[in-house]
Amino acid sequence: MTSELNVLALVKDTERYIFLYDEDSSDVLLQQLGQFAADKDLSFTWYDAAVLSQKVRRLKEEAEAEAREQWSRETTW
């Protein structure tokens, strides 16, 4: 089974935040988004973290639903 690579990006004026992650590291990414939001030296805000976190969770839910659907098709006689 191969793991998909996901790309999450945010462009703010001249800054670009680009995150690459797979299914297994989505929890680590969520923690990193919080750390970036807490860093006063970055323009990355708590709102940015919330929006991107919501996107990560939605993509994870969609991938899990797709995996369940595929498993169901494969195990149906």
Q: Where are the domains of the chain?
A: 5-75
Beta strand residue intervals within the chain, DSSP E: 5-12, 15-22
CA 36 to CA 1: how far, in whole Å? 32
CA 3 to CA 8: how far, in whole Å? 16
Write the pLDDT tens digit of every residue in 61-77: 888 888 788 877 777 66
Write the pLDDT tens digit of every residue in 22-64: 988 999 999 999 999 999 999 999 999 999 999 999 988 888 8
pTM above 0.85, yes or no: no
The reported pLDDT for the residue numbered 77 is 60
